Each structure stands twice: as C-alpha cells, then as structure tokens.
Structure 1
C-alpha cells in the first residue's frame, strides 16, 4: 500500500494543461486509493502533494481496521450473550455494525481535513471515538478473561446457592416451628404440610374450641336440667286436677313441658353435642398424626429444600452481559495484576479506535490540509466573486427592466393623451355640426 503511482514516471514528458500549458499532476490509481477514499481524500488534490499518499493510505487502513475490530467485537458479543442465535444472524449483525463503525469513523476523520479545524472540534471527535472504543472493547475483554470470568461466576453462583440453602435450613427447623420473627426468614419460610408444629397448633386450636364448646354445652344442660326439674315438679301426681270425669295435668304443667321442649330445640344442644363429639374424634386423629409426623415430616422438608435449591441454581444467570461485567469487575478488584491488565487492555483497545482522530490531533495540519484549505479559500473567494457578478448582472438587468417599464409607461401616457385629445376634438366637431344644423332649422323656420 505504500507503493503508489508517482506524480509522473521518470523520463516521461510532463502532462500539460491544454488551456494554459502548465504541467498537471497525474492522478493516482492503486489499492491505496480505496483506503484513502474511505476517509474522504480527494485524489485529484492529493496529486499535488504525492508525498502525503502514504500517510493517508495508512490513515484509511486505521479506519478500516477499527471497523473490522468492531465487527469482531459484535460477533463475539452476540456469540457469547446470545448463543441461541443462528450463525447467519450473528454475521448479519456484525456486518451492520461494521458499516456503522466504518461510516462513523470515516465521518470523524473526513471532517478533520483542512486547516480550519479547531482543537476543540478535534477534542469532541476524540471524545466520540473514545465512547465508540469503550463499546467495542468490552466484548473483547470478556473473551480475553473468559476463563476467569466463568470461574468467578461459577464460584459466585455456588456461594449464592449455598447461602440460599443455608437460609432455608435455618428458617425451616425439623420440628416445623415458626421462624417469622427471625431476621431474613420472612422470604425463606416453606409451606410443608403435616409439620409437627402445624399439627400441634391444630391440636391446640381444637382443644380451645372444645373447651369453649364444652362450657357452652354445660351451661345449656344446666338450664335444661332446671327446666326439666320444673316440669317434673309441676306435672307430678300431686298436682293433677279432675277434668271431664278423670285426672289431668294443670295448665302450668303444660307450659313447663312446652318451655323445656322449646328450649331444647332453640338451644341446639343436640347439634353442639355432635360437634363436641366430632372435635374429640379430630383430637384423637391429630394426636395420632403428630405421633407419626416426626418421622414423615423431615423427609418432606428435605425434599422441598432440595427442590427450592435446584430452582434457585437454575434461575441464576451465567451468560448475561451484566453478570459477566460484574464478574470481570470482581476479578479485576481481587488481583492487582488482573486490574493492571484490564486497564491496559481498555486503554489499548480504546486507543486503537481513537487512533485516527488521535493521530490527526497530534500531527496537526499536513501539506494536504494546507492545499485543501487553500482550495477552500479560493473556492470561497470565487464563490464570493461569482455572487458579486451575479448581483451586478441582476442589478443591471433590473435597471434595464426598469428603463423598459419607464419607456413603456411614457409611451402609454402619450397614446392615452392623444386618444383623449382626439376624443375631445371629435366631440367638439359633433357639437359644432349639431349647432349648425339647429341654426339652419331656425333660419328656415323664420323664412317660412
């Protein structure tokens, strides 16, 4: 690429401008031309300073290398973070990213040509190049430290799983006791049916309900016994009366019987006694379950803890970009040499991408920039003069149009005045003719 076609071959006659007879530089043609075209170099203008061709050829090569590095970075990133994508999709995305980086760097470099570029403008372009370099550098760093990152992620995930299992074991004791009051156990309690603590709570609740219901039944039975005693006392043989030729109970006895029967129905004593019997049976069943729960609950609890641990392990990410970034940060923070290598590689990759603008920033204006600046100045002057000529032509054309309009206006005024005078003369002639005709009629009338 450094070998280019010279301004003119040795021993050959110079090319002459047919209009002026002055020598015209021969245009360059070669593989470096395509590289220089990437950064917007004008080959016809560069022919006047052929010494700059090598510089701008490698300048274009730097831009092309940055785009290739960006495509490689994108393919590595997609291949690592989205391993489910087909190869065609990865290559397509890498090609698109290659074009984006190439277009951006080509614009950044081509916009620096010329001597009028200011340092602050170059600084902004350098800042954009650094941002682009940081984006390109990360996937490559992930591949360089891939083994360490995978190991750190594996160790970190194993520690997370172990901590999670430890919290499950600590927050779910073998006896099933509640640990809701312990710090950190609110999200780690498991619902396992048949725990001894749960059964004990059910037995205690059942006993409390039995005690309450038993007191209620006792109270109802005491009231019912009092009513039955009243019925027996009022309905005894000593209280019978004669009625209809025989013996019969009194109205008070009938009221007592009705009151006791009504109270048995409204108090629901039979329902409560059935419920109390059912609670006693449930208490025996729960007691039997609690005796067997100590042997059956622990295997169920262990199986639930194992299932939750496997779910936790399966849910941990090991390929995400944030996970790998955190792992890289941990690796760099845990070892000074790893941190040094990370910083150096970051700077190297960022410098590779920012090198085109950085080279322009350090080298300053070249001879090509001066020639291009001179052409800019000449074009600006020519354009200014062209505008002045156009303005003068337009002004003269306007004067001609104004003079034509003035002449036309004057001619129209003359025609209008002539037409007006002729109309007045014709009107006067008609009036004289009309007067003469009247005078003639008057004279004839007098003679007659």
Structure 2
C-alpha cells in the first residue's frame, strides 16, 4: 500500500510539472489559431520539420521560419517524386499509371529522410562529423534525384543521339557481315581478321566450283596460247607454200608444167608441223574446254546467285534481330548518350552540369538551411526542456529505486521474522518431544520397579 501511494504521488508530481510547462490557450498564437485548428496548412508544413507546436508557442516569432522550411522540404520531396516517376517511365519504355506507386513511395521516403536530417536536436553542437555525414547523405540523394530530371530536360537531343548510334550500329553490323562472309567465287576471298561473331553458316558455297573453273580457265588460256602460236606458224608456212607453189616449171623430159621442189618441200614441212604439234587435236580440245567453261560458268553463276541470296537473307535476319533489341530506350542507354553528347559539345557539357548542380542544390537546400543557420530561441528552449526532462527522469528513477529498495527491505524483514518464528516453533516442538519421551521413560521404569517389588505367588 505504501509503495502504491508513493507511485501515485510521483505520477502526480510529473503531471503537474508538465502542466506548468504548457501555455494557456491563445498564448503566443495568432488570433485565427487560438481556436480549433482545422486545416491549418502552416501547422502541417511545420510538422514536416519535426518541431513541437506546444514548445514553439513560447517563441511564436519562429513559426514563419519553420513554416518556410517545411515548404522547402515538401518541395524537394515533390521534385523527388517527379524524378522517380520519370525514371520508372524511362525504365519501362512508356508512360504508365504503375509508375505512380514507386513515385509515392519515393516521395514519402525522401520526405521522412529530410525530416530526419533537419529535425531539431536538443543540445546539438556544430560538430563537423555529423554535419558532413548529413551533407553527404543529402548530396547522394540529390545526385540520384537530379539525374532522371536532367535526362528529361535533354530528352530530345538524347533520343536523337541514340537513334544515330543505333543506325550506326546496324550499318556496322551489316558491313562486318558482308566483310566477313565474302563471295567465295571472287579472288582473294579469305576470311578477314576479327570475324569471330560475324561468320555465317551456309548449306553450300560456290567455292569449289570456282576453284575448278579457275583451273580450267588457266588450262584453256595456256592451250589457247599454244594454239595461237601454232596457228601463226602454220599461217606463215602456208603463205610460203602458196607463194612458192604459184610458180610452175616445165619438165625437161616430158615438157609438162610442174611444181617446184621447194614447193613440195614446204608442203611436207607444213604437214610435218601439223602432225608433230597436233594442231587439229589441240583445236578440238580447246573447243571442248571452252564448252565446258561455258557450262561450268553457268552453274557457277547460278550457285553464286543462290549463295548471295542466302547470305542476304542471313544478313537481313541478323539486322532484324539487332533492330528488335533496339525497341525500348533504357536509362543506361540514355546516360551513355548524354555522356557522349557532353563529350562532343562543350556548351552542352556546361549546360548539363549547371542543371545537374541546380537540382542537387535544391535537394540539399533543407540541410544547408538547417545547419548553416545559428541556434535560435526554439533550439534553446528544446535544450532546456530536454535537460529538465532528463533531470526529472533521473529524479523519478531515483525515487522509484528508493521505493523498490524499501519494498525489498520490508520483504526481507518479513522473511527474517518468519524464519525466526519457524525456528522458535521448531525448538519448542523439539523440547515437547524430549519431555514426552522422558515422561514415557519414567513411567516405564516405575512400572518395572512396581512389578519387581510385587511378592511372588509361587
């Protein structure tokens, strides 16, 4: 009972102290705020800074500052939500209502993070460690938020650069496929270097037919050269034969006209040349080789046409696959395109970084405003109330400790008394038992003596 009365009195003292720290209604408030709050936008904005309205009422002139700071926090969180919405739309390749969910989640996260960063802290000292840590968090958050907005602002230039790069990739792919899969029927058609991923497979190629046809053409050319030489030589001999055989001489014995011996010799020479050089056989062989060259050339032309058709089909398929991969424009591709644009144009580089730094500064602004400002009246009140709360809590804990110790001491005393009482009862019970045993023993001895004294009846 004593302990419960002590706890009730402690709670009464704490409540009365809290009541004394509260202001009466209407004190430190504008006239329109003295009554019911309703939809008080200024109060809701100040709630984003983590201030206590009851404590702020003591220094009412600080309200405008915290209201403006709450507006800055709300503005940065809205910008972050728009950035996330734009980022999700770019990631999925189209505008979607589903992007609102991560945007709202990101808004709440940034809002609470900024609220934590700028929330007033009692007895806060301007130490560089916590300040630098919070500034680093704000800078990283600002960079993440700023990048999608920068991509959104320069969207037209980025998409044009991406389309140019994609067309260039397709053209390079087509050129590499043509370079690495040449026509085997053409001379010097060996595979160039660096064609590992550009080689195509075909069922049949005109390479073997082309080699055979080239060899046949070389043989036909050599035979044609030989036939031409023999033809020129025979033509010269035939000319000599005709010129010599036009001359006739009269035979002295018969008186008839006859050919000269030189004419007959030249005729024999021409016949011997034809037989030894196989001119007629070579000409027939050359005709057969030319016919075969014509037939093989026709087959090679058809085979080459089939090969070129298959190659063009394979190249068209590979190009179509490459174009299919280029349907949606991802965030990473946009960032690479923006990096390439800024590397090529100095003015664009300066503009991109100015916009990027602007959004980073906007996101870091709440922390900068909070930590670059001096300690105000509200901070001093918060420190004073915090110190007072610590003292009150320490005193309450000390009182509770003493109350608990008193309860324990009383319980210990009760226990000791109970032990002493039980010990006394045990000793008394032992004595009663000893006395009873002694009485029984004396009674037994007396009965034996009486029995012994009784005379015998025998």
Per the TM superposition, whether the score is higher than 0.5 is yes
Name structure 2 gaps, 5 residues minimum: 1-16, 216-292
- Asked whether the 8 Å contact 1:317–1:323 carries over to 2, the reply is no
Query: Pick from 310, 321, 338: which aligns with 1:328?
Result: 338
Displacement of 1:349: 1.0
Q: Which of the numbers 397, 408, 411 marks the counterpart of 2:407? A: 397
1:138 aligns to 2:161 (yes or no): no
Give the length in aligned residue pairs: 354
Q: Which residue of 2 aligns with 1:379?
A: 389
User: 1:97-146 deviations in whole A, cap 9, x for unaligned?
Assistant: 22222222223333x53233543123222212222211111111111001
The equivalent residue for 2:373 is 363
Number of the residue aligned with 2:115: 106
- Contact persistence 1:74–1:136 (CA under 8 A): yes
Q: Distance in 2 between matches of 1:431 and 1:406?
A: 37
Find the residue that maps to 1:49 and give its secondary structure: helix
Shift of 1:44: 0.9
Match runs of 1:183-222 below 5 Å: 183-192=193-202, 195-200=205-210
Maintained 8 Å contact 2:206/2:303: yes
Q: State the Cα RMSD in Å.
A: 3.3
SS in 1 for 2:347: helix
CA distance in 1 between partners of 2:171 and 2:18 (Å) = 88
What CA distance in whole angstroms lies between the structure 2 residues aligned with 1:311 and 1:62?
Answer: 49
Residue 20 to residue 47, structure 1, CA distance change in 2 (3 Å): closer
In structure 2, C-alpha distance between the alignment counterparts of 1:21 and 1:181, rounded to whole Å: 91
Question: What is the aligned counterpart of 1:173 among 158, 182, 193?
Answer: 182
State how 1:256-267 maps to structure 2 within 5 Å.
none
Does 1:116 find its partner at 2:98?
no
Distance 1:342 1:78 in 2: 21
- Equivalent positions of 1:412-427 (< 5 A) are 412-427=422-437
Q: Find out whether 1:313 has 2:361 as its counterpart.
A: no
Does the C-alpha gap of structure 1 residues 179 and 63 become closer, same or farther in structure 2, counting only changes over 3 Å? Answer: farther
Q: Alpha-carbon deviation of 1:93?
A: 2.5
**Greater RCO between the two (CA within 8 Å, min separation 6)?**
2
- Identify the match of residue 73 of structure 1 among 74, 83, 88: 83
Change (3 A) 1:286 1:361: farther
* Aligned match of 1:226: none
Aligned to 1:47: 57
Which entry has the higher C-alpha Rg, 1 or 2?
A: 2
Contact 1:114 1:365 in 2 (8 A): no
Matching residue of 2:172: 163
Residue 92 of structure 1, CA deviation: 2.2
Structure 1 residues 122 and 415: CA distance shift in structure 2, 3 A: same
Residues 313/356 of structure 1: CA separation in 2 closer, same or farther (3 Å cut): same
Deviations 1:201-224 (A, max 9, x none): 68899xxxxxxxxxxxxxxxxxxx
Distance 1:286 1:433, change over 3 A: farther
Aligned residue in 1 for 2:241:
none
> 1:344: Cα distance to partner?
1.5
The structural deviation recorded for 1:357 is: 1.6
**Cα distance, 1:380–1:21 mapped onto 2, change above 3 Å:** closer
CA distance in 1, matches of 2:306, 2:429: 131
* CA distance in structure 2 between the partners assigned to 1:38 and 1:135 by the alignment: 22
In structure 1, the partner of 2:156 is 147
Residues 2-31 of structure 1 deviation map (CA, whole Å, 9 limit, x = unaligned): xxxxxxxxxxxxxxx998699644576432
Relative to the length of structure 1, the TM-score reads 0.70
Offset, 1:305: 3.7
Q: What's the offset of the Cα at 1:149?
A: 0.3
Matches of 1:153 and 1:19 in 2, distance apart? 67
Deviation at residue 298 of structure 1 after TM alignment: 4.3
Q: What is the CA deviation profile of residues 248-300 of structure 1, one whole-angstrom value per residue up to 9, with x for unaligned ones?
A: xxxxxxxxxxxxxxxxxxxxxxxxxxxxxxxxxxx998765214335554455
The question of whether the paired residues in 2 share the 8 Å contact of 1:318 and 1:324 is answered with: no
Counterpart residue number, 1:125: 134
1:347 corresponds in structure 2 to 357
